[in-house]
Amino acid sequence: MKRLGIFLQFALLLLLVPISWDALNSIGQAQHRDARALDYLKAAKDADAKNQPKLAISAYQQVLSLKPDDDDARLRLTLLQCKVSAEEPASLTATSARALALRLKTLGLAAKDGPEVAVALAQIQLLDGRSALAHAAFEKAGVAYPKSGLVQFVLGKSRLFQGDTAAATDALARAVKINPENSLYRSVLGKTLHSQGKWARAEVELLAAAERREDAMVRLMLGEAQLKLKKADAAIESLHRAQGLIKEPGQRARALAALGYAQYSAGRMRDAIASLSESHRLKASDQTKLNLALSYQAIKDHKRAILLFKTALENRPLDGTNHVNWVRSLIAVGQRITAQQVYLRLKQRADSHPQLKPHLSLMSKLVEMNERTP
């Protein structure tokens, strides 16, 4: 009987071992999931703190794949998706907009629940074709959340969309003041100032944006602003980097044209000729031709300069400055009669275009001086 009891205990132990092993294995897997979820949660918070919302979104999605019931992670994920959709409207499609609106509704979130929600709801309205309501919602959010860089940034873009550049600049400047390390906010403010010809302020913002994140168009516009401010060496550096980053032919031609003029301004004529020639090859432009003509003129290659001035000025009959430059090259190679003909054509136009008279006066002196030369 005693042996039977021992046998039964042993049999029971054999039955319980697999159950205990499965339980221990399940506990181990759960602990492993929790540890991974904590790692992803830390990564999400770190990315969020560094203003890297897309990385944070990816990390929060991993958290939820491991812990589907984590309501805090789900809320933060939704708010980050709201932020990204507001900062980068192109990332929001009609389908994703409907999905985001549904998640906000499910979570019971409205504009009063935070700046991210307010701008996301307005962005969804804009994508849905309700532009008047959307822009009104952006303005309302700007009043409700004056200290939110996100709201001020999106408000600025809304005003740009409506053509109110001055008010847009004010909102974008507030966004940068609130979040000075945000390269996106600085780049949009810099581009807006660039479009208004406010070169000194544009240079400050575009340079700050470029220092935080490399961007080809930011570098290009920075170089153009520096060129306008007569900072040729700084412009050459910015534009050289820009043309190396840009792949689209039209924009690369623009960068090379600006680079070439910067090199011309700095007295680097051979470099200027190379850059301007490549720009013209990519995209023909009368202005690029004229700058190329000036570069050849500077190295006394007047025959090439004359051909370029002639073809470029066919479409620019009122460009008095470059008609004078054309005459200079004509006289330099002894084409006095052609120079006089150019002068007479400009003189005829001056009767109906008084702005040509100062150039006509200078051209007259050049032609007369040539006539008196023995």
Residues 83-97 as b/e (b if ≥16 CB within 10 A, e otherwise) read bbbbbeeeebeeeeb
- Which H or E run includes 57? helix 53-66
Whole-prediction pTM value? 0.80
Please give the pLDDT value at position 47: 81
Least confident span in 23-32, 238-247, 312-321, 335-344: 23-32
Average pLDDT, the chain: 87
**Residue 242's pLDDT band (cuts 50, 70, 90):** very high
User: What's the CA gap between 26 and 124, in Å, rounded?
Assistant: 43
pLDDT value at 139 more than 60: yes
List alpha helices for the chain, DSSP H: 2-49, 53-66, 71-87, 94-106, 115-127, 131-144, 149-161, 165-178, 183-195, 199-212, 216-228, 232-245, 249-265, 269-282, 286-298, 302-313, 320-332, 336-350, 357-372
| The predicted structure's pLDDT at residue 96 | 81
Give tens-digit pLDDT for 181-231.
999 999 999 999 999 999 999 999 999 999 999 999 999 999 999 999 999
The CA dihedral of 252, 254, 257, 261, to the nearest 10 degrees, is -120
pLDDT of residue 237: 97
Q: What are the structure tokens assigned to 242, written together?
A: 């820009």
Average pLDDT over residues 138-152: 94
- Helix, strand, or coil here: 92? coil
- The reported pLDDT for the residue numbered 373 is 44
DSSP state of 248: S
Chain centroid, CA 239 distance in Å? 15
Length of the chain: 374
**Structural tokens at position 94:** 């009609």
DSSP E strands in 234-299: the ranges are: none
Position 264 pLDDT exceeds 90: yes
Task: Please count the other Cβ atoms lying within 10 Å of the Cβ belonging to residue 48.
Answer: 19
- pLDDT for residue 323 is more than 90: yes
- Our CA angle for 293, 299, 302, nearest 5°, is 55
Check residue 91 and report its DSSP letter.
G
Give tens-digit pLDDT for 12-59.
555 555 555 555 566 666 666 778 877 877 887 888 787 778 888 888
Cα–Cα dist 367/312, whole Å? 22
Q: What is the Cα–Cα distance from 311 to 186, expressed in whole angstroms?
A: 41
pLDDT of residue 371: 45
